[in-house]
């Protein structure tokens, strides 16, 4: 499984255009790009799966979207319309939209991927197909 960059750009708008405030729908694209970096991800392997922890506190479970297309897993979040936006005095954390994309290798069974959102963490289970586990191979250095 490989990370395809944390700042995937779903609208095909360049980062430069987004920084200038290009709009996507009713939301400024630059806010979307900035908040896309806010969902940290940790991944660990068990004997039967990869476990992905997406740290996204303060979000609404129903507004997460997981999608597999080919060998790419996309995890995204879009807050509901009318979500309160206070006048911040200081802001170090965002509960805004984000999108993360990951390439799945042939050892993952995409039909059995599951997810749950508990205590601000989206846990995505990526089951490994039995018998398809990758093997470690030591490569000698000359």
Q: What pLDDT is attached to residue 16?
A: 29
Q: What pLDDT is attached to residue 44?
A: 95
Q: What pLDDT is attached to residue 1?
A: 56
Residue ranges of domains in the chain, CATH in brackets: 2-81+94-127 (2.60.40.790)
- In angstroms, the Cα distances linking 97 to 90, 104, 110, 113, 139 are 19, 23, 24, 22, 42
Q: What pLDDT is attached to residue 37?
A: 52
Pull the structure tokens for residue 100. Answer: 């993360």
Alpha-carbon span 63 to 117, nearest angstrom: 11
Q: Are 127 and 72 in contact (CB under 8 A)?
A: no
Q: What pLDDT is attached to residue 93?
A: 79
Averaged pLDDT in 10-residue chunks for the chain of 142 residues: 44 33 42 57 94 94 96 93 83 85 93 96 95 80 92
């Amino acid at each position: 499984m490989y990370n395809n960059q944390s700042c995937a750009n779903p609208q095909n708008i360049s980062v430069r255009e987004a920084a200038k405030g290009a709009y996507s729908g009713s939301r400024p694209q630059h806010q979307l790009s900035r908040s896309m970096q806010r969902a940290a991800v940790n991944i660990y392997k068990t004997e039967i799966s990869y476990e992905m922890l997406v740290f996204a506190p303060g979000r609404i479970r129903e507004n997460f979207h997981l999608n597999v297309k080919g060998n790419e897993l996309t995890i995204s979040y879009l807050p509901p319309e009318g979500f309160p936006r206070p006048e911040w005095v200081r802001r170090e954390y965002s509960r805004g939209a984000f999108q993360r994309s990951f390439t799945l290798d042939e050892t993952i069974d995409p039909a059995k991927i599951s997810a749950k959102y508990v205590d601000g963490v989206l846990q995505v289970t990526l089951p490994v197909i039995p018998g398809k586990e990758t093997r470690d191979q030591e490569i000698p250095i000359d």
